[in-house]
Amino acid sequence: MNNKILLAALLALSLPALAGRPLSTEDANSLDDGQCQLEAWANRTRSNTTEMVAVPACAFLKVEAQLGTGWVRENGETKLAAQFFQVKHAFSAVVHLNLGTTRNREEARNLTLWGIAAEKPVTERLTLVGEVYGENTRDPFYRAGGRFTVIPEMLDVDLTYVGRSGGSKEDRLWSIGFHLEGDVFK
């Protein structure tokens, strides 16, 4: 599979269903009114392609709004890969489960996106994370790793490993990122 197709697939899978770092499966929580956050991460493949994503978000009137941008660096060139907007509201769910759809413009068809994730705190600051996610036409991805709280209720850093069931070396990567949150408008 060529690197551009792999990177496009990774972006297509991860961007429509963004989650609390480091998961691709959307978390069931949302920010409180007046709070803002910045999630950012970089993924590096064995073929030396780097994906960088930044997702700032703020909440007003019990609705969290996210505006994200993704860039890809490949063969010494950096280019805009994706931009997206998402809003969410948490009712009382705590299950990390997603079901959604996206339009593949190149293939002129709709795809079903899905994901399920788990988080297990092992200490006050360390949480282990794992998930399986994908789309209806391809083998699923899996992710495993951890998130460490540097400053409680403000800054987390994470490191995860991502692979694809039955995939090649190009389908495997390490992801490092952070989640910064605070009361900006209170």
- pLDDT single digits (tens) 115-159: 888 888 899 999 998 888 888 888 999 999 999 999 998 999 999
Instruction: Tell me the pLDDT of the chain averaged across its residues.
Output: 79
Cα separation of 151 and 140, whole Å? 33
pTM, entire model: 0.66
Q: How many domains does the chain have?
A: 1
Full residue range of the structural domain in which residue 160 is found: 3-183
Task: Give residue 15's identity as a one-letter amino acid code.
Answer: L
Which residue matches tokens 């899996």?
Answer: 142
CATH number of the domain residue 118 falls in: 2.40.128
